[in-house]
Amino acid sequence: MTELSRSVRGLTVLVTGAASGMGRATAEVFAAEGANVAVTDYDGEGAEAVAAGIVAQGGRAKAWKLDVGDKAEIDAVVADVARHFGGLDAVVNNAGISGFTQIDNEGYDELWERMIRVCLTAHQRIIRAALPHLRKSKSPRIVNIASTEALGATALDSAYSAAKAGVTGLTRALAVELGKEGITVNCVCPGPILTGMTRGIPDEQRDIYAKRRTALRRYGLPEEVAHITLSLCMPAASYITGVTIPVDGGLMARNA
C-alpha cells in the first residue's frame, strides 16, 4: 500500500457561490478538514459572513467578492487568492442561478445569455485563471457543480439544462486534456437540495416531489453534496477523473 492521504489539511480551495447553500456547506466542510478556504461570492457581504463564521470556529478562510460573470474579476480574485494563501490546489465551480421560461417567451435570449455566462462560461474562465497555480500543486483538483438537469430535463428549464449539460462536456474534455498533468476534473450533479435556490418552493410541494421522484423520498442537505466534493479533492482521489456523479437521492435511478 502507498500512503495516499485522505486529508485536505493545508491545501487551498477556492469555492464560488460560497455565501449560500451548497457553496457555503462546501466551504465549511473543507475548513473543518483543515483546508485554507477562499470563500467567494457575488454577494460580498454574505461571503464575509461565511468566512467570519469559519474563522470563529478556528478554521482558515478569507472572503472575496467575485461575480463569476465578470472575467476581469475572476482573473484578479484568483490571482489574489493564490497570493494570499501561497498557492491554489482545488477549484470548486459552484456558483449558479436558476431561471424558468418557455422557449418562445420574450426575454429568452437574455436568460440564455446570462445562464450560459454564469453557469458554464464562468467555469472555463475560472479554470483557465487557476491553471498556472494548479500546475504547481501536488494534488490539483477541479470540481464542477452541474445538476441532474444535465442528465434529464424539466420543461421550461432549457437554458439551465443546456448550461449544465455543457458543464458535463467541459468536465470530460478537460479531464482528457489535463490528465497528463495529473490534474483531475470531475463533475457533481446534485438533485433536489434544500438551499437558497429551492427555498421558494412551498414545503408541501417539495415533499410531494421528493416522495414521487427520489429513491430516498426526501430533499438532500447541502452538506450531503459538499462531502462528495471534498472526497474528490482528497489527494487519495488521484485516479478518478472525467466522471459525472449524481448526488440526488436516487432520482436518476428511479423510474417509478
Q: State the nearest-atom distance from the C-beta of 178 to ligand NAI, in Å.
A: 21
Closest CA to 77 of 115, 85, 155: 85
Select the residue interacting with ligand NAI from 95, 129, 142, 230 (CB under 6 A): 95
Q: State the nearest-atom distance from the C-beta of 98 to ligand NAI, in Å.
A: 6
Q: Which one, 23 or 59, has the nearer CB to ligand NAI?
A: 23
Cβ atoms of 69 and 117 within 8 Å: the answer is yes
CA 203 to CA 218: how far, in whole Å? 11
Site track 194-233 with ligand NAI (rule: CB under 6 A), x = hit: -xxxx-----------------------------------
Cell 464562468 maps to which residue?
A: 122
Contacts of 242 (CB under 8 A, 6+ apart): 171, 172, 175, 176, 179, 185, 186
Site size toward ligand NAI, by CB under 6 A: 29
Q: State the nearest-atom distance from the C-beta of 138 to ligand NAI, in Å.
A: 28
159 in contact with ligand NAI (CB under 6 A) = no
118 in contact with ligand NAI (CB under 6 A) = yes
Residue 49 parent element (H or E)? helix 44-56
Q: Which one, 42 or 112, has the nearer CB to ligand NAI?
A: 42
Burial environment of residue 255 by CB neighbours within 10 A (0 to 12, 13 to 18, 19 or more) = exposed
43 in contact with ligand NAI (CB under 6 A) = yes
82 in contact with ligand NAI (CB under 6 A) = no
Sheet of 141-145, strands arranged across: 60-65, 36-41, 12-15, 90-93, 141-145, 184-190, 244-247
Cβ atoms of 247 and 223 within 8 Å: the answer is no
Q: State the nearest-atom distance from the C-beta of 39 to ligand NAI, in Å.
A: 10
Select the residue interacting with ligand NAI from 8, 21, 137, 241 (CB under 6 A): 21
Q: Taking the CB of residue 21, how many other CB atoms lie within 10 A of it? A: 22
Q: Which one, 17 or 137, has the nearer CB to ligand NAI?
A: 17
Strands (E), the chain: 12-15, 36-41, 60-65, 90-93, 141-145, 184-190, 244-247
Q: Which one, 45 or 181, has the nearer CB to ligand NAI?
A: 45
Q: State the nearest-atom distance from the C-beta of 42 to ligand NAI, in Å.
A: 3
53 in contact with ligand NAI (CB under 6 A) = no
Closest CA to 193 of 171, 214, 162: 214
68 in contact with ligand NAI (CB under 6 A) = yes
190 in contact with ligand NAI (CB under 6 A) = yes
Q: State the nearest-atom distance from the C-beta of 153 to ligand NAI, in Å.
A: 13
Q: Which stretches of the chain bind ligand NAI, using CB under 6 A?
A: 16-17, 19-23, 41-43, 46, 66-69, 94-97, 118, 145, 147, 190, 192-193, 195-198
